[in-house]
Amino acid sequence: MASRVPEKASPVDAGDVVSTGDADLRRVLLVKAKGGLGNRILSAVTGCVYARLHGRQPCIDWRDGAYVPEGVNLYPLLFDAQHSGDPALYDGADIAAPPVWSGQLHKQPVDIIRARYPRSHRSPFVYRKLCVDLSAPDSDAPVAVFWSYLPKMQRLAGVLSRDKRFVGRSEDEITKEMLHRYFTPVAEVREAVDAAFAHIEGPLIGVHLRFTDRKVPIAKILHRIDRMREAQPDAALFLATDSSEAQEAVLSRYERVHTLPKTLSQDGAALHFSQDEFADPVREARAALADMVALSRCDWLIHSRHSTFSVTAALMGDIPVERQFDVDRFNVKVVAKRWFQARA
């Protein structure tokens, strides 16, 4: 899955007409990012829904330095970008909503937070300073910016309930539609998963075990695998993890465990900002997405819903809730935090 990093596009004036083939880009929504792959995908889904609600063209702008060097847009390296414009075309725009982005559209949320709100990096409300007001009428500015660390579909609930395209549909149904439209993996990722799964027979239990900067309770994961193996003795395991320690814990305990090739963290550091350690950053980013796609194709999923990576995989694959085993489902702190963050 190796790939070179493309050159940057040349900026143009934001008032120019730029077409992707199905939309005029005079009214654009730049969808920016901060965090890991699951966070940025589910957050961007909210941005894409907002764009649909207000007649804007979404441009997914992942130039924040995740996996690939800062300034390079990760999004089109991972997904079919035919429905998204090129965010670099708007770098020169001097009017934007919210106004904090005016003349700063080449920057990313972490840059603005560091410069203007340095004490608010962990604030659940700082995104409101950098994001269009989700509960107010749309701005007249030709370029608007959406950013949140986590999905904010709950903040759009009132508008969604009055729009005939979305009324009566659940958040998961809407999210799945947006994932299908804006987050179809590039051919290299799909082909890698197809090749791996061609050699796997029988039912498959997907296991996601995040064990770097945020650690899933590994003992609970292993206990659930034990129970699933008892109930489904013919099922193999597919393991997606970011940690060599976690992978060894599973491989040493079980037989018939499948994994995809990728770099694993040796020191507990999050992989999405370890590009200096990668011989091929694009390949590693695609390997992470391939793990997500592989999990989405499993018959069951053992995970923690505290991880947006596995939640995204479950939504991509439309894995029924009754086939998901959330090891944190009774963790009051995790459940309460997730409820609050969705509505903050």
Q: Are 314 and 296 in contact (CB under 8 A)?
A: yes
* The pLDDT of residue 25: 53
Ranking 148-152, 262-266, 310-314 by mean pLDDT, the lowest is: 262-266
Ranking 45-59, 209-223, 244-258, 289-303 by mean pLDDT, the lowest is: 209-223
Residue boundaries of the structural domains of the chain: 28-182, 187-343
Instruction: Calculate Rg over the CA atoms of the chain.
Output: 20
* The pLDDT of residue 21: 38
Q: What is the pTM of this model?
A: 0.88
What average pLDDT does this structure show over 70-93?
Answer: 95
* The pLDDT of residue 8: 38
Q: Report the percent of the chain where pLDDT is more than 90.
A: 76
What average pLDDT does this structure show over 215-229?
Answer: 93
- The model's pLDDT over 178-221, given as tens digits with 9 standing for 90+, comes to 999 999 999 999 999 999 999 999 999 999 998 876 778 899 99
Q: How far is 338 from 332, CA to CA, in rounded Å?
A: 10
What average pLDDT does this structure show over 40-61?
Answer: 97
Q: How far is 263 from 300, CA to CA, in rounded Å?
A: 25
* The pLDDT of residue 279: 77
Q: How confident is the model at residue 327 (pLDDT cuts 50, 70, 90)?
A: very high
Q: How confident is the model at residue 12 (pLDDT cuts 50, 70, 90)?
A: very low
* The pLDDT of residue 274: 52
* The pLDDT of residue 97: 98
- Mean pLDDT for all residues in the chain: 89
Residue 223 has φ and ψ, to the nearest 5°, of -60, -40
Q: Are 6 and 80 in contact (CB under 8 A)?
A: no
Residue 141 has pLDDT above 90, yes or no: yes
44 by DSSP, 3-state: which? helix
Q: How far is 81 from 60, CA to CA, in rounded Å?
A: 9
Place of tokens 């106004």: 99
CATH architecture of the domain formed by 28-182 = 3-Layer(aba) Sandwich (3.40)
* The pLDDT of residue 267: 59
Residue 275 has pLDDT above 70, yes or no: no
* The pLDDT of residue 204: 98
Q: Tell which CATH classification among 3.30.70.890, 3.40.980.10, 3.10.20.90, 3.40.50.11350 matches the domain 187-343.
A: 3.40.50.11350
Residue 139 has pLDDT above 90, yes or no: yes
Residue 20 has pLDDT above 70, yes or no: no
Burial class from Cβ neighbours inside 10 Å (0-12, 13-18, 19+) for residue 143 reads buried
Q: Which residues of 208-243 are buried (b: 16+ CB within 10 A; e: fewer)?
A: bbbbbeeebebebbbebbeebbeeeeebbbbbbbbb
* The pLDDT of residue 273: 54
**Same fold for the domain at 28-182 and the one at 187-343?**
yes
Residue 87 has pLDDT above 70, yes or no: yes
